[in-house]
């Protein structure tokens, strides 16, 4: 899972990525090095940190920290990557980099994103679920379908009201 604000551990770039891998099982150092490098490359961060692997991850920029959190998640080879507002704390350039990364990863694994950014939804998703809270603050899924259908021809009036109010 990747959260809105990068949740790095106070350790090196390398150790942040290796952390989850070490939790799920032992790997020889050479194999662990390869896993870490591969995950950082998959997160499109390698060129920026390859010479900083043993420096504190907390020294990275916000966008780099978010990519490092993605690399840490990818290192354990998930089938599904959950992302909660992954670009919320980033400037437009940082957001674009994360969106490009998501676009590139979506052919390899299922990515579920929670976002309030409807433009981002239309750029990144194949399917969209619209959730709404009732007067008792109980949240329920109102509608699910292809992103195109949700944004052009929603079935439920609550979805329609929200989408067309944008």
The pLDDT, as a whole number, for residue 117 is 87
Residue 22: predicted pLDDT: 94
Model pLDDT, residue 165: 85
What is the pTM for the complete model shown?
Answer: 0.88
CA distances from 165 to 26, 33, 117, 128 (A): 52, 50, 14, 17
Residues in the chain, pLDDT under 50:
none
β-pairing, 110-114 with 80-84?
A: parallel
- What's residue 25's pLDDT? 86
CATH 3.40.50.300 domain range(s) in the chain: 1-117
Q: pLDDT value at position 159? A: 94
Predicted pLDDT at 122: 92
* Strand intervals (E) in the chain: 80-84, 110-114, 127-133, 139-146
Please, are residues 39 and 17 in contact by the beta-carbon 8 Å criterion? yes
83-101 in b/e burial notation, b at 16+ Cβ within 10 A?
bebbbebbeeebbebbbeb
Q: What is the pLDDT of residues 91-119, one digit of tens each?
A: 888 889 999 999 999 999 999 999 988 88
Query: Which tokens belong to 19?
Result: 């952390």
Domain 1-117 = CATH 3.40.50.300? yes
């Amino acid at each position: 899972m990747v959260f809105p604000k990068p949740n790095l551990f106070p350790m090196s770039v390398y150790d942040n990525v290796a952390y989850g891998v070490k939790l799920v099982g032992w790997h020889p150092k050479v194999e662990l090095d390869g896993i870490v490098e591969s995950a950082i490359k998959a997160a499109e961060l390698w060129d920026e940190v390859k010479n900083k692997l043993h420096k504190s991850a907390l020294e990275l920029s916000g966008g780099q920290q978010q990519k490092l959190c993605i690399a840490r998640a990818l290192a354990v080879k998930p089938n599904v990557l959950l992302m909660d507002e992954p670009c919320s704390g980033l400037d437009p350039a940082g957001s674009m980099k994360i969106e490009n990364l998501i676009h590139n990863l979506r052919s390899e694994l299922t990515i579920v994103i929670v976002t309030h950014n409807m433009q981002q939804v239309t750029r990144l998703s194949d399917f969209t679920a619209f959730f709404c809270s009732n007067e008792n603050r109980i949240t329920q899924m109102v509608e699910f379908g292809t992103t195109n259908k949700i944004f052009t021809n929603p079935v439920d009036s609550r979805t329609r009201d929200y989408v067309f109010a944008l």
